[in-house]
Amino acid sequence: MASHTPHPYYPRMLILDHYVPNELTTIEILILLFSTFGVLILGALFFSYQKRQSSIVGVGQQLTFVWFVLSGFIHLFLEGYFSVRNRTLAGEQTLLAQTWKEYSLSDSRYLSSDSFVVIMETITAFAWGPLAFYTAYAQYADSPARYIAQLILSLGQLYGDILYYLTTIYEGMPHCDPHPYYTYFYFGFFNMFWIIIPLVLIHNSVKNLYRGMTIAQAAKTTSKSVKTKKTN
């Protein structure tokens, strides 16, 4: 161990010779990250407010719109950065690299380029990222694709996150600093959003699609019976 670069990550025997400690403090990273989220949330709220009389009605739908926009940015930029730079991340000092080095205290798979994490994050960044923006747009425009996009996005996020949690929990969480701050706040709390909100939105999508398909089936039957009557 003595010949390797010391680092604060778990498992302790992990070799990360390209690791360089963050220049920013934890507080500075969290403030920068949450300020960015704050600006994105306010921007999305402003947009959604313009459609409050038509396609984005009520607080629930406005928050859903904010969620799609925020998800899109997190997937495409934060997770996209990880996808592209994961092999050299531990030695970098950009804001996004420092954010990942801080988060990795709760999951070192982000610094060791674990194959599942890299592939799942790449799909999340470049499939679910753009889809999140499209879903926001489809909601804004009240497109018939609105709940279809919401269902695909939410199911993709949910399945990815369940796999993410369970693959390391199954191994006894060797990649996480056992301090409760990292276990419960970073690993547990941050990722829980992509379990709970997708579950709610899948339920909401299925309900709306089921209602729509019931109306469409009835409309078809009516038009058929009208046609039959005319033939008679």
* Residues numbered 171-190 forming contacts with a second copy, rule: CB under 8 A: 171
* Residues numbered 128-167 forming contacts with a second copy, rule: CB under 8 A: 142, 144-148, 151-152, 155-156, 159-160, 162-163, 166-167
203 binds a second copy (CB under 8 A): no
Instruction: Please enumerate in sequence order all residues whose Cβ is within 8 A of that of 191, keeping only pairs 6 or more positions apart, or say none.
Output: 161, 164, 165
What's the closest the beta carbon of residue 142 comes to a second copy, in angstroms? 8
What's the closest the beta carbon of residue 43 comes to a second copy, in angstroms? 28
What's the closest the beta carbon of residue 147 comes to a second copy, in angstroms? 7
d(CA 201, CA 61): 10
C-alpha to C-alpha distances, 164 to 29, 156, 216, 221, nearest whole angstrom: 23, 12, 38, 45
Helices (H), 74-145: 80-85, 95-103, 115-123, 129-140
Q: In the complex with a second copy, which residue's Cβ is closer, 192 or 206?
A: 206
The two three-digit tokens of residue 41, written as one number: 């949330």
What's the closest the beta carbon of residue 120 comes to a second copy, in angstroms? 6
DSSP 130-176: HHHHHHHHHHHTT-TTHHHHHHHHHHHHHHHHHHHHHHHHTTT-TTS
d(CA 199, CA 139): 18
Q: In the complex with a second copy, which residue's Cβ is closer, 42 or 216?
A: 216
What's the closest the beta carbon of residue 54 comes to a second copy, in angstroms? 12
Residues engaged in binding a second copy (CB under 8 A): 115-116, 118-120, 123, 142, 144-148, 151-152, 155-156, 159-160, 162-163, 166-168, 170-171, 206, 209-217, 219-220
